[in-house]
Amino acid sequence: MRKALLGAVFATALGAGAADAATIKVGVIAPFSGPFAMFGQTFKEGIAVYQAVHGKTVGADTVEFVFKDLDQANPAQSKALAQELIVKEKVSFLAGFAFTPDAMAVAPLIDEANIPAVIFNAATSAITEKSPRFVRSSFTLWQNTVPLANHVAKLGVKKAITAVSDYGPGIDGEAAFKATFEKAGGAVVDTIRMPLKSTDFAPFMQRIKDSGAEAVYAFLPAGPTTLAFAKAFADNGLKEKGIQFFGPGDITQEPDLPALGDAVLGMTTSFHYSQAHESAANKSFLAKYKELFGSSDNATFTSVGAYDGVHLIYTMLAKTGGKSDGLKAVEAVKGLSWESPRGPVTIDPDSRHIRQTIYLRTVERVNGKLQNTEKDAFPAQPDFGYKLGK
Binding site for ligand PHB (CB under 6 A): 98-100, 121-124, 168-169, 221-222, 250
Query: Which of 10, 229 has the CB closer to ligand PHB?
Result: 229
CA 267 from chain center: how many Å?
Answer: 20
Contacting residues for 16 by C-beta, under 8 A, at least 6 apart: 60
Shortest distance in whole angstroms from residue 120 CB to ligand PHB: 11
Shortest distance in whole angstroms from residue 109 CB to ligand PHB: 19
Shortest distance in whole angstroms from residue 305 CB to ligand PHB: 10
Alpha carbons within 13 angstroms on the beta-carbon side of residue 153 total 18
Residue number, nearest CB to ligand PHB: 221
Shortest distance in whole angstroms from residue 221 CB to ligand PHB: 3
Three-class SS state of 86: helix
Shortest distance in whole angstroms from residue 101 CB to ligand PHB: 7
Amino acid symbol at 289: Y
User: Which one, of 286, 248, 240, 289, lies nearest residue 267 by Cα?
Assistant: 248
Q: Quote the CA–CA distance of 146 and 127 in Å, as a whole number.
A: 19
Shortest distance in whole angstroms from residue 146 CB to ligand PHB: 16
Query: Which of 92, 145 has the CB closer to ligand PHB?
Result: 145
User: Which one, of 248, 187, 254, 219, lies nearest residue 41 by Cα?
Assistant: 254
Query: Which of 225, 315 has the CB closer to ligand PHB?
Result: 225
Query: Which of 100, 162 has the CB closer to ligand PHB?
Result: 100
21: number of Cβ within 10 Å? 14
Angle between helices 301-320 and 2-14 (to 10 degrees): 40
Query: Which of 222, 360 has the CB closer to ligand PHB?
Result: 222
Q: Quote the CA–CA distance of 378 and 173 in Å, as a whole number.
A: 18
Distances 353 to 97, 150, 220 between C-alpha atoms, Å: 15, 22, 21
Q: Quote the CA–CA distance of 210 and 3 in Å, as a whole number.
A: 60
Shortest distance in whole angstroms from residue 171 CB to ligand PHB: 11
Query: Which of 122, 316 has the CB closer to ligand PHB?
Result: 122
Shortest distance in whole angstroms from residue 123 CB to ligand PHB: 4
* C-alpha dihedral (288, 63, 117, 32), degrees to nearest 10: 60
Query: Which of 140, 357 has the CB closer to ligand PHB?
Result: 140
According to DSSP, the β-strands at 61-69 and 57-58 are antiparallel
Query: Which of 6, 192 has the CB closer to ligand PHB?
Result: 192
Shortest distance in whole angstroms from residue 124 CB to ligand PHB: 5
Contacting residues for 285 by C-beta, under 8 A, at least 6 apart: 49, 299, 304, 307, 341
Shortest distance in whole angstroms from residue 8 CB to ligand PHB: 40
Query: Which of 227, 316 has the CB closer to ligand PHB?
Result: 227
Q: Quote the CA–CA distance of 147 and 360 in Å, as a whole number.
A: 8
Provide DSSP, 326-349.
HHHHHHTTTT-EEEETTEEEEE-T
Q: Quote the CA–CA distance of 390 and 301 in Å, as a whole number.
A: 29
Query: Which of 257, 317 has the CB closer to ligand PHB?
Result: 257
